[in-house]
């Protein structure tokens, strides 16, 4: 049996994509629109309380292209808390106009191909990665991915040392972008259709293109990477919500 790699796991994650029914929205009176937006702002204030209690994080993004209109990225301690967030959100009246388009459920994950010197769960730097606040950068690039299980090239039949070598090469290629592009990696094996989710954050979306282009030439991506749909979003701050809808 091929040796697996140990993972260290943190908060549960939900990427929730919605499409706005603008036709129904435009049929509402201004008073009704105001009421729905006030309800949404109240919900966001409750989410902020979760942040203050250090029990999660959240962000809303407007999505480029026609795959969706909005994306809600939610981090919570457990999957049950993700379900609770979704249930409460769907009970909002404005959610009746925000039709579900896609979603991705996963758990923040850090893997190690080398034995750590200290317990990762007692390492302050590792804890920041496992239980982070969503970066404040203006843009997000999210995509799900899996590793190939082909008849000839199969990631899951490679020896651990070979997988580790390719992953270290991959990290080396991405290192020049570290200052400009932040990331949150989530594992979804057994939780969703793809095996991992990648969330990249920066203030210049051109950097997404440059980073992903460069890493495409790594052996791990070129030979073993399987990618889902890419979503590019711009952060929708609470004070901008009314202008977005109105």
DSSP 3-state of 96: helix
Distance CA 169, CA 118 (A): 24
Q: What is the DSSP string of 151-218?
A: SS-BGGGS-HHHHHHHHHHHHHHHGGGTTT-EEEEEE-TTTSSSSEEEEEEES-THHHHHHHHHHHTS
Cα-based distances in Å from 44 to 39, 47, 170, 241? 9, 5, 37, 11
Q: Which residues does the annotation mark as catalytic?
A: 143
Token pair, residue 18, equals: 């919605």
Tokens linked to 120 = 């990762």
């Amino acid at each position: 049996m091929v040796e697996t790699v140990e993972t260290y796991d943190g908060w549960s994650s939900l990427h929730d994509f919605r499409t706005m029914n603008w036709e129904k929205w435009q049929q509402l009176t201004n008073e009704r629109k105001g009421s729905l937006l006030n309800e949404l702002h109240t919900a966001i204030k409750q989410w902020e309380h979760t942040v203050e209690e250090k029990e999660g994080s959240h962000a809303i993004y407007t999505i480029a292209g026609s795959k969706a209109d909005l994306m809600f990225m939610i981090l919570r301690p457990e999957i049950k808390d993700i379900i609770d967030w979704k249930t409460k959100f769907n009970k909002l009246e404005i959610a009746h106009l925000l039709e579900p388009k896609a979603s991705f459920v996963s758990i923040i994950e850090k893997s190690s191909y080398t034995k750590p010197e200290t317990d990762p769960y007692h390492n302050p730097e590792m804890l920041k990665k496992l239980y982070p606040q969503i970066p404040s950068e203006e843009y997000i690039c999210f995509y799900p991915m899996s590793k190939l299980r082909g008849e000839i090239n199969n990631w899951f039949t490679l020896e651990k040392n070979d997988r580790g070598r390719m992953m270290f090469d991959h990290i080396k290629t991405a290192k020049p972008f570290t200052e400009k592009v932040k990331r949150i990696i989530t594992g979804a094996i057994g939780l969703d259709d793809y095996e991992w989710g990648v969330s990249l954050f920066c203030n210049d979306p051109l950097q997404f293109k440059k980073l992903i282009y460069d890493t495409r030439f790594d052996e791990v991506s070129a030979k073993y990477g399987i990618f889902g749909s890419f979503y590019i979003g711009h952060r929708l701050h609470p004070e901008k919500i009314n202008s977005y809808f109105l």
